[in-house]
Amino acid sequence: MEMKELTRAEEQLMQVLWQIKKGFVKDVIDHLPEPKPAYNTVSTFIRILETKGFVAHEAHGKSHEYYPLISKEQYQNFATDKLLNGYFDNSVKSMFSFFVKKEKIDMKEADEIMKLIEKLKDK
């Protein structure tokens, strides 16, 4: 099954599930910032995530305990590849220079990234 991109709301719920590992809708809501969304809203989005193959559940009577099927790392890889291919012609250099130009990276971070790239090249 091909991984789908998450909406901002879906990604927010996945971030919580990745953090808590498994939980009921109430547990997910407890980890969301104020103002808390309605129970039914969160429940609906979690069922959408289940349809998309990101989440599964264990039934406990009438309530369901949800857990991620896709790891945060798997989604990071997918999202990064999509970003690189879709906007930067698969060039890390092009993406890096974009973030530098947008002032999203300071010199210390740039230096750390360059060291990391060198370390990866050595492997």
pLDDT digits (tens, 9 = 90+) for 18-55: 999 999 999 999 999 999 999 999 999 999 999 999 99
Q: Which domains does the chain have, with CATH numbers?
A: 8-68 (1.10.10.10), 72-122 (no CATH)
Whether the predicted pLDDT of 112 surpasses 70? yes
**Residue 70, number of CB atoms within 10 A of its CB:** 18
Whether the predicted pLDDT of 72 surpasses 90? yes
- Of the two residues 88 and 66, the one the predictor is more confident about is 66
| Separation in Å, CA 16 to CA 45, 72, 74, 85 | 13, 11, 16, 28
Mean pLDDT across the chain, nearest whole number? 90
3-class SS at 104? Answer: coil
CA distance linking residue 19 with residue 31, whole number of Å: 9
Stretch 90-102: mean pLDDT, rounded? 82
CA distance linking residue 70 with residue 67, whole number of Å: 9
Q: Which residues pair with 66 in a beta bridge?
A: 23, 57
How much is the pLDDT for 123? 63
How much is the pLDDT for 70? 96
Going by pLDDT thresholds of 50, 70 and 90, the confidence category of residue 66 is very high
Q: Is the pTM of this model over 0.85?
A: no
